[in-house]
Amino acid sequence: MSRIGRLQKGMESILGIMLGIMVVLVFGNVVLRYGFNSGIAVSDEVARYIFVWMIFFGAIVAVREHTHLGVDSLVRRLPYKGKVFCAVVSDLLILAAMWLLFRGSWTQTIINYPTASPVSGISMAVLYVPGVIASLAMSALLVLHVFQVLFRGAKEEDLILSAGSEESVNIENLQPVNGK
């Protein structure tokens, strides 16, 4: 298994642990509120922070596996060189978006570092650091993909950068429902 594959498996494990912690925090707080008329104030805030981190880590995994949603019906019908062109242009546009995400997240991290959250007292920068990490990780994955496509030659399935419902349906063989 490659180093990136091991990192992805580790990230997936971290995502599972984060989800488990989030479920315990939220469910435990619901039980405490309705069962014992009390609660842990910090649990909702920490669950929110974990949720933000999960979103960004999940986005990194989705970029690695090419499972973001997208409209690829045109790209699937293009010849190989057209698919290569579209994949490279798509990756470059996403890299531009990653630059914007990085710049915005970094700026917000710096601005919000001295601000403490109302309940836990944790720096509000915690909400923006995952944007910095995700933008850097996704940018690295996209640069590797462009390098692979341009210099190593990519397989046709590596040139379709999204996952959609079209993959599971063969449009040419669809039958009308009830003869209509």
| 163: CB partners within 8 A, 6+ apart | 66, 67, 68, 69, 70
In this model, does residue 168 exceed pLDDT 60?
A: no
> How is the chain split into domains, by residue range?
3-163
Q: Are 127 and 50 in contact (CB under 8 A)?
A: no
pLDDT in tens, 141-162: 999 888 888 887 777 666 676 6
In this model, does residue 180 exceed pLDDT 60?
A: no
In this model, does residue 92 exceed pLDDT 80?
A: yes
Mean pLDDT of 59-80: 80
Q: Report the C-alpha dihedral over residues 68, 139, 88, 7, rounded to 10 degrees.
A: -60
What is the spatial distance between Cα 51 and Cα 166, in angstroms, rounded to a whole number?
30
Q: Report the C-alpha dihedral over residues 76, 82, 88, 94, rounded to 10 degrees.
A: -50
Lowest mean pLDDT among 28-32, 35-39, 68-72, 77-81: 68-72
